[in-house]
Structure 1
Amino acid sequence: MTSPVSHSDAERREGGDAAVDTVRGGHGLPPFAALRAFEVVGRMGGVRRAAQALGIDHTVVSRHLRTLEDWLGVPLVERGGARLVLTDAGRAYHARVSAAVHDLVAATRDIMASGTGEGLRLWAVPGFATQWLSDQLADFERTDPGFAVELRPTDACANLVQFEADADIRFYGDDWPPQPGGPGLQTLELARPPLVIVASPALAATLDLSVPEDLLSAPLLHEEHHEQWRAWLTQNGVPLAGRSLSGPLLWHAHLAIAAARQGRGLALANRYLVGRDLANGALVELTVPGTRPVTIGSYWFVARADRWNAPQIARLRTFLRQRTREG
Structure 2
Amino acid sequence: MPKRRDSEDAPAGDFLAGKAIPPFAALRAFEVVGRVGGVRRAAALLRLDHTVVSRHLKALEEWLGVMLVDRQGGRLTLTEAGQAYHARVSAAMLDVVSATREIMAQGQIHDLRLWCVPGFATQWLSAQIAAFERAAPGFQVELRPTDRPANLIRFEADVDIRYYGDAWLPQPGGPGLHTLVLARPPLLVVASPAVAAGMAGIGGVADLLGAPLLHEEHHEQWRHWLRGNGCDPGDGPLPGALLWHAHLALAAARAGRGLALANRYLVADDLASGALVELAVPGAQPVAIGSYCMVTRADRANNPAIAQLRHFLRQRVA
Per the TM superposition, whether the score is higher than 0.5 is yes
Instruction: Give, as a single letter, the amino acid of the residue that structure 2 aligns with 1:237.
Output: G
The answer for the alignment partner of 2:5 in structure 1 is: none
Q: Distance in 2 between matches of 1:198 and 1:119?
A: 37
Matched, 1:301 2:294: yes
The answer for the alignment partner of 2:276 in structure 1 is: 283
Counterpart contact for 1:99–1:306, Cα < 8 Å? no
Q: How many residues align?
A: 274
Instruction: Give, as a single letter, the amino acid of the residue that structure 1 aligns with 2:99.
Output: A
Q: Distance in 2 between matches of 1:101 and 1:135?
A: 31
Please give the per-residue CA displacement for 1:64-97, whole angstroms capped at 9, x wherever unaligned.
9xxxxxxxxxxxxxxxxxx98xxxxxxxx99975
Matched, 1:144 2:143: no
The answer for the alignment partner of 1:312 in structure 2 is: 305
The 5 A counterparts of 1:154-233 are: 154-207=146-199, 208-233=201-226
Counterpart contact for 2:190–2:279, Cα < 8 Å? yes
Structure 1 runs of 4+ off > 6 angstroms? 27-30, 46-49, 52-58, 93-96
Q: Distance in 2 between matches of 1:204 and 1:152?
A: 34
Counterpart contact for 2:109–2:304, Cα < 8 Å? no
Please give the per-residue CA displacement for 1:39-83, whole angstroms capped at 9, x wherever unaligned.
x99xxxx9999xx9898999x99xx9xxxxxxxxxxxxxxxxxx9
The 5 A counterparts of 1:35-114 are: 99-103=98-102
Instruction: Give, as a single letter, the amino acid of the residue that structure 1 aligns with 2:142.
Output: E
Question: What SS class does the counterpart of residue 212 from structure 2 fall into?
Answer: coil
Counterpart contact for 1:118–1:146, Cα < 8 Å? no
Q: Distance in 1 between matches of 2:241 and 2:35?
A: 45
Counterpart contact for 1:126–1:252, Cα < 8 Å? no
- Structure 1 residue 124: Cα displacement: 0.4
Q: Distance in 1 between matches of 2:262 and 2:22?
A: 50
Q: Distance in 2 between matches of 1:48 and 1:276?
A: 41
Report the CA distance shift for 1:196/1:32 in structure 2 as closer, same or farther (over 3 A): farther
Matched, 1:321 2:314: yes
Of 109, 112, 115, the residue aligned with 1:120 is 112
Q: Which runs of 5+ in 2 are unaligned?
A: 1-12, 44-52, 64-82, 85-91
- Structure 1 residue 146: Cα displacement: 1.2
Instruction: Give, as a single letter, the amino acid of the residue that structure 2 aligns with 1:222.
Output: H
Matched, 1:265 2:258: yes
Counterpart contact for 1:131–1:254, Cα < 8 Å? no
Question: What SS class does the counterpart of residue 205 from structure 1 fall into?
Answer: helix
Counterpart contact for 2:94–2:154, Cα < 8 Å? no
Report the CA distance shift for 1:316/1:233 in structure 2 as closer, same or farther (over 3 A): same
- Structure 1 residue 135: Cα displacement: 1.3
The answer for the alignment partner of 1:245 in structure 2 is: 238
Q: Distance in 2 between matches of 1:131 and 1:227?
A: 23
Report the TM-score when normalising by structure 2. Answer: 0.69
Report the TM-score when normalising by structure 1. Answer: 0.68
- Structure 1 residue 137: Cα displacement: 1.2
The answer for the alignment partner of 1:19 in structure 2 is: none
